Structure 1
């Protein structure tokens, strides 16, 4: 079994919940901090292909509210990966990559199904 990779920022509540859930269920995982290691364009494009921009872009975030008009326009025109590369905290968190699949956000029920716990 591959070790899942959890992407996010450590002080995000959803990321903390996901990490806590994984640790409580004794599931080994690798954590990647967006601020220390921003996602690559390849990763962003892959995530966008799997889950789509609607799920991946956190339009309720402070980062989104503070975006310049040019970046908001770029999002609307479909240049999502470039804007997310420039503003990784705009990505809805956490991102869980595991066995070729990607999930966005944290749901205990989803994680239980995914890890058969």
Structure 2
């Protein structure tokens, strides 16, 4: 079963849920606001996709981080920052078997998930 990670109230997440529902794809949802960021999967995402893909550098949470932390960010500091501030993680993250996707893009999802 597909697992989707994110924050329920996020507009991008709402688009993702709608897309999944329209395509009849069952999913399990992990809400960062209720359950926090899962450390082991987070480390795997960063190892596979790179911290630059997993961390949302366009969001307000990133912009509120101290400048020196943003400038010196690496994989390990990205994990620590995301565990403390799950809103830093790009939404949604999708896991399905060997498929790992960060962010919502209908064309990519069509290609990879259908």
Instruction: Find the counterpart in structure 2 of residue 40 from structure 1.
Output: 38
Q: 1:60 aligns with which of 54, 58, 81?
A: 58
Which structure shows the higher helix fraction? 2
Kindly provide the CA deviation profile for residues 51-109 of structure 1, in whole angstroms up to 9, marking residues without a partner as x: 11111111110111111346435525852111111110001100001103210000111
Instruction: Find the counterpart in structure 2 of residue 81 from structure 1.
Output: 79
CA distance in structure 2 between the aligned counterparts of 1:73 and 1:86, rounded to whole angstroms? 18
Give the count of matched residue pairs: 114
Q: Structure 1 residues 77, 18: CA separation in 2 closer, same or farther (over 3 Å shift)?
A: closer
Q: TM-score, normalised by structure 2?
A: 0.90
CA distance in structure 2 between the aligned counterparts of 1:40 and 1:70, rounded to whole angstroms? 25
Instruction: Find the counterpart in structure 2 of residue 14 from structure 1.
Output: 12
Q: TM-score, normalised by structure 1?
A: 0.88
Q: Tell me, which stretches of 5 or more residues in structure 1 are unaligned?
A: none
CA distance in structure 1 between the aligned counterparts of 2:106 and 2:74, rounded to whole angstroms? 32
On the 8 A contact 1:5/1:31 being kept in 2, the answer is: yes
Would you identify which runs of 4 or more consecutive aligned residues in structure 1 move more than 6 Å?
A: none
CA distance in structure 1 between the aligned counterparts of 2:68 and 2:35, rounded to whole angstroms? 25
On the 8 A contact 2:50/2:75 being kept in 1, the answer is: no
Instruction: Find the counterpart in structure 1 of residue 99 from structure 2.
Output: 101
| Secondary structure of residue in 2 paired with 1:102 | strand
Root-mean-square deviation (CA), in Å?
1.7
Q: Structure 1 residues 46, 79: CA separation in 2 closer, same or farther (over 3 Å shift)?
A: same
CA distance in structure 2 between the aligned counterparts of 1:96 and 1:58, rounded to whole angstroms? 15
